[in-house]
Amino acid sequence: MGLFNTKKEDDIVEAKAVKEEKSLAVEKDAKKADKKVVATKNVVDIPNDGQMAYDFIVKPWITEKAQELMASNKYIFRLRAKTTKREAKVAVERLYNVRVESVNMINIPSKKKRFGRSMGMKSAVRKAVVTLKKGDKIEIFE
């Protein structure tokens, strides 16, 4: 019986040590949560270099309708799938040094497309219609 009792005592000591380690880890996590810094790529947090804007903007969307909208100071850009309005706004401001008044998002879903006998998918597109403040222009479209 003495052999079994020592194992139980050792298990109790190990269990207490594990509980203490867990409580210390929880306290450290709580301290980190107070000082936690978001590690995601966000244009707003990056210094004003404009290079990060390319992570959100794919390219300008140039069509006849887009050319007509430029008369009313609206420009259209193709975006990455997960880009938000705020990220699009800051990216355009940093990339082209303009002031953005508003951003409207357009999601075009993927569609089925036939290629001979086989079926394929046309990829989904996310666009942003960016309205600039009076007096601002993006010269690359002109």
pLDDT digits (tens, 9 = 90+) for 15-68: 666 666 666 666 666 666 655 444 445 555 555 566 678 889 999 999 999 999
Query: What is the average pLDDT across 61-83?
Result: 93
Residues 32 and 48 in one domain: no
Closest among 111, 86, 15, 91 to 48, alpha carbons compared? 91
Judge if 21 and 78 occupy the same domain: no
Query: Distances from the Cα of 71 to the Cαs of 13, 38, 68, 83, 104, in angstroms?
Result: 77, 39, 6, 26, 17
Tell me: do 13 and 50 sit in the same domain: no
Which tokens sit at 99? 């002031």
**Domain region containing 11:** 1-36
For residue 142, pLDDT beyond 90: no
88 and 23, same domain (yes or no): no
CATH for 91: 3.30.70.330
Q: What pLDDT, on a 0 to 100 scale, did the predictor assign at position 140?
A: 74
Average pLDDT over residues 111-128: 92
pLDDT of residue 139: 84
State how many domains the chain has: 2
Kindly state whether residues 7 and 58 are assigned to the same domain.
no
- Specify the higher pLDDT residue, 138 or 51: 138
Residue 37 has what pLDDT?
47
- Of residues 119 and 6, the one with the higher pLDDT is 119
